[in-house]
Amino acid sequence: MRAMQAIRIHEPGGPEVMNLESLGDPSPGPGEALVRIEAIGVNFIDVYHRTGLYKNPLPFTPGMEGAGVVEAVGDGVADVEIGVRVAWAMQLGSYAEKALVPSAKLVPLPAGVDTATAAAMMLQGMTAHYLTHSTFALGSGHTALVHAAAGGVGLLLVQMARKKGARVFGTVSTPAKADLARQAGADEVILYGSTDFEAEIKKLTGGRGVDVAYDSVGMATYEKSMASLAPRGMLVLYGQSSGAVPPIDPLLLSARGSLFLTRPSLAHYTRDRSELLERARDLFSWVERGELHVKIDARLRLDDAARAHRLLESRQTTGKLLLLP
């Protein structure tokens, strides 16, 4: 029997530190399921793990999202059965042909959602869901700024924000990405390379600013994101693709209009299984009804993981990158 293949990282560094290695098949322990992976989602959190920004014991297999078929279960597993198609997010170890996943983190897939789509939407889709439904619960009349509006999270965020009735302003880097953001439902799209998005937001809102800024870029954008807010607006820093945001003086929030600042994580918005299932079921039902469109930018082989990270870090992607074992 051929040994299982997995990407392993033995030391932090660039994409080149990821190597495909042969490992023995793992066996599920109590509360775990062994999943034969059919599709793996690539996310910026994987880059943070690879570089050591987010630390893990070495060596490790990266990847926080995947979908496939349950091959075996350990003692006490009642959430899933052998042969069921499942997907998961926020569990390390998906850059592999098989993975051990706590059964409480597995979500069974409905017939209308294939494993590639599920792997493309679990982490980013649930992120967009908690951002728009919980962190700042959008409603009719709200205004929202979405950075990287043509990225994997961005395209889903724009769709959900419009679904909730908000007016959406997106920032992108190219005219082609602007077209994608508009197709997703963005009311206004700003090319941040040639236009000062803060000034444009103020102009488009009559000087008021937006109710919420969803910022996954971090260092390069957070100051102007904060300056783009209306009084009592909220800056939601949910990523840092351009670098970490430095400490912020709380008095600055007061001076800018009694603003709110949060740095949320999906892990805290899926703390129990009921919340996980609720968010996932919303996503699946919207996809099945054609109300949410998941854009897959590219499907690469598992041994192309380094290339996937280079594409992601260069911001050449629109939508989602998948690895296929």
Distances (CA, A) of 190 to 147, 168, 198, 255: 10, 11, 10, 26
Task: Look at residue 115 and tell me if it is in a domain.
Answer: yes
Give the number of other Cβ atoms within 10 Å of residue 253's Cβ.
16
Distances (CA, A) of 97 to 11, 25, 316: 21, 9, 26
Instruction: Determine the Cα–Cα distance for residues 309 and 86; give it in Å rounded to an integer.
Output: 25
Instruction: Determine the Cα–Cα distance for residues 299 and 307; give it in Å rounded to an integer.
Output: 11
pLDDT (0 to 100) of residue 3:
84
109 and 174 belong to one structural domain: no
Number of domains in the chain: 2
Distances (CA, A) of 300 to 41, 73, 79, 283: 11, 29, 31, 24
Instruction: Determine the Cα–Cα distance for residues 83 and 68; give it in Å rounded to an integer.
Output: 9
197 close to 217: Cβ distance less than 8 angstroms: no
8 and 97 belong to one structural domain: yes
Instruction: Determine the Cα–Cα distance for residues 202 and 260; give it in Å rounded to an integer.
Output: 19
Out of 216, 231, 263, a domain closes at 263
pLDDT (0 to 100) of residue 317:
81
pLDDT (0 to 100) of residue 258:
98
The helix/strand/coil state of 171 is strand
Task: Look at residue 131 and tell me if it is in a domain.
Answer: no
Task: Look at residue 134 and tell me if it is in a domain.
Answer: no
Instruction: Determine the Cα–Cα distance for residues 40 and 37; give it in Å rounded to an integer.
Output: 7
204 and 287 belong to one structural domain: no
Task: Look at residue 73 and tell me if it is in a domain.
Answer: yes
> Would you give the DSSP letter of residue 135?
I
22 and 44 belong to one structural domain: yes
pLDDT (0 to 100) of residue 25:
85
Task: Look at residue 296 and tell me if it is in a domain.
Answer: yes
pLDDT (0 to 100) of residue 1:
56
15 and 111 belong to one structural domain: yes
Please, what are the averages of pLDDT over each run of 10 residues along the chain (325 residues)? 89 97 93 98 95 95 98 95 97 97 97 96 97 98 96 95 98 95 97 94 97 95 97 96 91 96 96 95 97 95 97 86 97
66 close to 99: Cβ distance less than 8 angstroms: yes
The pLDDT tens digits for 254-305 are 999 999 999 999 999 999 999 999 999 999 999 999 999 999 999 999 999 9
157 and 192 belong to one structural domain: yes
Instruction: Determine the Cα–Cα distance for residues 152 and 285; give it in Å rounded to an integer.
Output: 19
Task: Look at residue 130 and tell me if it is in a domain.
Answer: no
What ranges in 65-114 are assigned the alpha helix state H?
A: none
Out of 263, 288, 309, a domain closes at 263
Out of 220, 236, 263, a domain closes at 263
CATH code of 290's domain: 3.90.180.10
Q: Look at residues 293, 54, 3 and name the one whose alpha carbon lies nearest to residue 163.
A: 293
The mean of the pLDDT values for the chain is 96
The domain of 48 spans 4-122+271-324
The DSSP bridge partners found for residue 19 are: 8
Task: Look at residue 252 and tell me if it is in a domain.
Answer: yes
Residue 213, amino acid: A
91 and 172 belong to one structural domain: no
106 and 143 belong to one structural domain: no
CATH code of 254's domain: 3.40.50.720
